[in-house]
Chains A and B, each alone.
Chain A
């Protein structure tokens, strides 16, 4: 499974690009986050399936005018600011945050949906989303 961030330019925003891609490739994909405004849309998806399928999805989306980039990083925790209180743990819908053995916050990027709920909850404002 890989996660991708898709940028839809304004002329593509209104066409059902994702649905078409699913139909054409027969790939199961999951929308993790979506934001659409007047100029462009940003959607984060996770794509199941092998390398071949992943490649095909990226290829088709790119052909349809969507800017596709693979997500490598998840939520970043600025450890200098964080006090390791754990307020972010229980609100995470993906269950991606926990304490490690030393009592420090640990974020599993494979599980993370990048929804950003933890950013708002953090009392220290130490969390951020990296869009790449």
Chain B
């Protein structure tokens, strides 16, 4: 048994034994008792895109003073619904000008790198704060406090992602190819901070950590902290002015938005054999679910369970096929963080703290409380479908469109399965190009939906593919209904 004080005394005397989390499993396996006695600290690390990150910045007062009601930093809007010149710049906020190519995460990186950023502010003006507009450029040196304050970082582990649908999806889990052709995963597995103290015996409010290249602190559980299923999170705080752009880097996630790569390292004190055993965890012992992002629901189906070891191997077996897997966190930088933290401790520059409160272990993750029932496709679709068969003439389809006042007609083959779709525009083109057979003009790659899908999901699909309606099909690709954007808008507007 050791205490934090014992370990700090060893640090002071220069004889604390510090090892990296990736080195601990072998040390422990050789002799568990000896490992617990001799190793004092195991350093952990992670470097991944953590959207729930941002910084509070106080810009100081202008003359005449302004109470900012809107503020932009390099054209990225920051929150200023707090005191006059306090703002919060969030990593996921995108630039008004550059969109996904530049966001709050990039602003933070630029500031930390010492680069000048443009500030533009608007206000309504008061007796004490008369000014209505302000524009200037500042560096991190020019501002008062700049605190990195991240409400949710360093997920203990995270589900991996694949996509069973027939279109490429752009998600916060990266670009997911169609038909489960790749797997992306986040997290650092065996070297992840919380993974090395899964009972949260040593981590909590007040734990001193490595944050963005400087000393920072855990400020308690993070948002969505879900300890019962091993999905713990932490919130963290640190002084941005002391940090380094080597460990805080802006990120663009294709088709999704912006984020911030955050470097976090936590020293785990080896108080006893239990802590030694916990820090000896290996990638093969950590299981992760691969979820199907092709299903756009909160609870996505599990494709299979894998270990971090398999994920890191670069190939994962899915439906009997080997598909490529990508980590989204950097192992290289994570290892560097563990090494850096180890060096600080060995150089007596970093001492451990006992948390004031450890992280809660009984928090439950709640879903958003719904105000009313979200409608399904089944609730809004037209069940009596006007359709044609592939052998019908263009003339007959034209009559169907005119008589029923519709824009498009699904084409159904003799087995009742969806073969294609023909729109009024296709018919116009057919006349212009002198084509007469329906089969030659119909679109065979049809955007479809299922009766159990939420209308919001289908609305997004219609918008993405710029179509006005979609046939509703069952498992056998039989058409059981049709849903149009106006059907959907009617129910969505009612909410």
Contact = CB atoms under 8 A, between A and B. Distances in A.
Chain B interface SS verdict (over half): strand
Contact of A87 (B314, B326, B331): B326
A90 B332 contact: no
Given A90-B182, A121-B174, A123-B252, A84 B333 contact: yes
Contacts of A89: 314, 324-326
Q: Which of A85, A102, A104, A121 has the most CB of B within 10 A?
A: A85
Of the four ranges (under 10, 10 to 19, 20 to 34, 35 or more), the interface on chain B belongs to: 20 to 34
Interface residues of A, number: 23
Interface string B477-492: 0000000000000000
B333 A86 contact: no
Interface in B72-116: 101
Given A83-B261, A90-B182, A91-B177, A124 B251 contact: yes
B184 to A, nearest CB: 6
B259 interface: yes
A92 B259 CA distance: 22
Interface string A79-99: 000011111111110010011
A78 B314 CA distance: 23
B350 interface: no
A103 B314 CA distance: 12
Nearest to B261: A83
Contacts of B261: 83, 85, 123
Nearest to B174: A87
Interface string B242-256: 000000010111100
A86 B182 contact: no
A121 B314 CA distance: 17
Contacts of A111: none
A125 interface: yes
A53 B324 CA distance: 35
Given A86-B326, A91-B175, A123 B253 contact: yes
A95 B324 contact: yes
Interface string B164-199: 000000000011010000111000000000000000
Most buried by B among A83, A88, A117, A122: A83
B222 interface: no
Contacts of A99: 314, 331
A102 B177 contact: no
Interface in A6-48: none
A88 B47 contact: no
A110 interface: no
B101 A83 contact: no
B43 interface: no
B49 A88 contact: no
Nearest to A104: B332
A96 B328 CA distance: 17
B335 interface: yes
A99 B259 CA distance: 23
Given A89-B326, A90-B184, A121-B254, A102 B259 contact: no
Contacts of A84: 330-333
A91 B182 contact: yes
Given A83-B261, A103-B332, A90 B251 contact: no
A49 B236 CA distance: 59
B439 to A, nearest CB: 27
A35 to B, nearest CB: 19
Interface in A96-127: 98-99, 102-104, 117, 120-125
A102 B175 CA distance: 25
Interface in A40-91: 83-91
Given A87-B326, A89-B314, A95-B324, A125 B253 contact: no
Contacts of B47: 83
A73 to B, nearest CB: 24
A89 B177 CA distance: 12
Q: 4 tightest CB-CB pairs across the interface, nearest first?
A: A90-B326, A103-B332, A90-B182, A123-B251
Given A90-B323, A123-B251, 17 more contacts: A83-B330, A83-B332, A85-B261, A85-B328, A87-B174, A87-B175, A87-B184, A87-B328, A89-B324, A89-B326, A90-B174, A91-B326, A103-B332, A103-B335, A117-B175, A121-B254, A125-B252
Interface of B: 47-49, 101, 174-175, 177, 182-184, 249, 251-254, 259, 261, 314, 323-333, 335
10 contacts: A85-B330, A87-B184, A87-B326, A87-B328, A89-B325, A90-B323, A99-B314, A123-B49, A123-B252, A124-B249
Interface of A: 83-92, 95, 98-99, 102-104, 117, 120-125
